[in-house]
Amino acid sequence: MKHRLDWSAYETAGQGDAYAGIPATGGDFAKAVAVCIGDKQCQRKPKGVMCPSFRATDDVAHSPGERVKVLKAALNGELGDDAFADPRLASAMELCVGCKGCKRECANQVDMAAIKIEYQAQRNARSGVSLRDLLVATLPDQLQHRRFVRSLIRWRNRAPWLAQLGERFFGISAKRKLPEPAAAAFSFPSGSNPLQLPLVRGSAEPAPPLTRGGWEGLSSPETNDKSLILFVDTFAMHFDPEIAHAAHQVLTAAGYNVSILQALADDDEPERALCCGRTYLSLGQVDAARHEAQRMHRALRPALEAGIPIVGLEPSCILSLRDDHLKLGLGEAAIALSKQVYLFEEFIAREHDRKRFTLEFKPLPQGKTLVHGHCHQKAVGAMKSLRKVLRLIPEFEFEFIEASCCGMAGSFGVEAEHADISMRMAELDLLPALRAEPDATILANGFSCRHQIREGAARQSHHVALLLRDALKEPTSC
């Protein structure tokens, strides 16, 4: 089996364990599957993230442990010669939403989200990429280069016949609205520091090997550098530019020199925005995701070498850079970036702990705020940072919703065959919690989560950057 992802981190997994049950084929991928110890924790229903597909169906066939059993059967040749095309494997993997809940909560950190990417990549290699997956994966490109796509999405949301056509030909549920792009994409704030831009836009001069280990290298009192790079992901770029502007305002007000990440002048496509490749990776289009990652690594190389932090807004993008990119076989650049990239709230919490973020905020007029964490935020323990940051706003009343994945999970919730189960996932905890507090403000940092909340609760939700901007004592312009 030719792996599409790099599974070498599992090279020694199960070594010397007579009970590991490592399948006969699949190499290191098989070892990653076999880390499951079969204790069925994932088939109970405690609170936490794991496992939305099992909880929503109440069927163990849709739990991580049962997926492992079918994968093992496939890799042991029990599903025939071409197991990756077998409908039994397809059925086992279908409802995994890649939430990473099992990676965080199961006894042996089974990484089913990554396993599903390998599975999809294997399936794509056999039967090709579906038109729907191609449309979704290339959305960042379409939005940048084909202006009619913005109007088409808005038109489709208002014309039921067009939504029906979309379901018939592309498998996009007519029951669901699509997220609508902003009237205009993100534009550079006038306050961005042009002196910093050459760091990320300058020449691609070969640089010496990486020598410094990140932000630590510049955080001594002697250097006291407050430069950072803001990565404006596809979703902030095209759908919610206000979030990127708000983050820029807050970080600038706190005294940081904020540069916005751009493609290198000598990039193959210098005018195309950099992208983490999440939309490709989540649909098993690994080569395209790797290409996007390489563009980013190249553009970020000087910043990585200088130990300048990279700050981003969308959990699934930033945590892709930190976690999934390590499986793309990109070596040291991916490792360096994974250590130097932060969510907006992680960066502020960390800087505040170091007494470098001293900005004070004013109270907000709103009452209680309910906070829904993106499942990847929860999976890497980033909710602690969010809690810390919200405490910087005086008298701010908030409550975290205890919920699993919202069910939207990228494009999963708008796929015709998954629209209903997606909403059942939302109904497990998230939507009842919102209904119980009809007047609360809602905070949700995930783009998909905000869309699911709009769909399921008919309410708007906000990224923490907007809240902090509104709580600035001195209004700033950008």
Residues that bind ligand SF4 (CB under 6 A): 36-42, 50-53, 64-65, 68, 96-102, 106-108, 110, 112-113
Distance of closest approach, residue 457 Cβ to ligand SF4, in angstroms:
22
Instruction: Assess contact for 67 and 112: CB atoms under 8 A.
Output: yes
Distance of closest approach, residue 51 Cβ to ligand SF4, in angstroms:
3
Distance of closest approach, residue 283 Cβ to ligand SF4, in angstroms:
15
Distance of closest approach, residue 47 Cβ to ligand SF4, in angstroms:
14
> Cβ closer to ligand SF4: 135 or 406?
406
Distance of closest approach, residue 355 Cβ to ligand SF4, in angstroms:
38
Nearest residue to ligand SF4, scored by beta-carbon proximity: 106
> Cβ closer to ligand SF4: 43 or 192?
43
Distance of closest approach, residue 107 Cβ to ligand SF4, in angstroms:
5
> Cβ closer to ligand SF4: 97 or 275?
97
> Cβ closer to ligand SF4: 67 or 238?
67
Between the CA atoms of 33, 38, 40 and 42, what dihedral angle is there, to the nearest 10 degrees?
A: -20
> Cβ closer to ligand SF4: 38 or 331?
38
Distance of closest approach, residue 114 Cβ to ligand SF4, in angstroms:
9
> Cβ closer to ligand SF4: 76 or 294?
76
Q: Parallel, antiparallel, or unpaired: how do β-strands 341-343 and 257-260 relate?
A: unpaired
Residue 266's CB is within 10 A of a number of other CB atoms, namely 10
Distances (CA, A) of 236 to 119, 184, 317, 408, 465: 29, 11, 11, 17, 11
Distance of closest approach, residue 205 Cβ to ligand SF4, in angstroms:
41
> Cβ closer to ligand SF4: 39 or 417?
39
CA distance 197 to 24: 51
> Cβ closer to ligand SF4: 252 or 279?
279
CA distance 478 to 476: 7
Distance of closest approach, residue 354 Cβ to ligand SF4, in angstroms:
33
Distance of closest approach, residue 296 Cβ to ligand SF4, in angstroms:
24
Residue position matching structure tokens 């909403």: 423
> Cβ closer to ligand SF4: 115 or 228?
115
CA distance 89 to 93: 6
> Cβ closer to ligand SF4: 53 or 144?
53
Distance of closest approach, residue 437 Cβ to ligand SF4, in angstroms:
26
Phi-psi region of 409 (alpha: psi -120 to 50; beta: other; left: phi over 0): left
CA distance 231 to 296: 10
Q: How many residues does the chain have?
A: 478
For the record, the structure tokens of 438 come out as 């009809």
> Cβ closer to ligand SF4: 261 or 405?
405
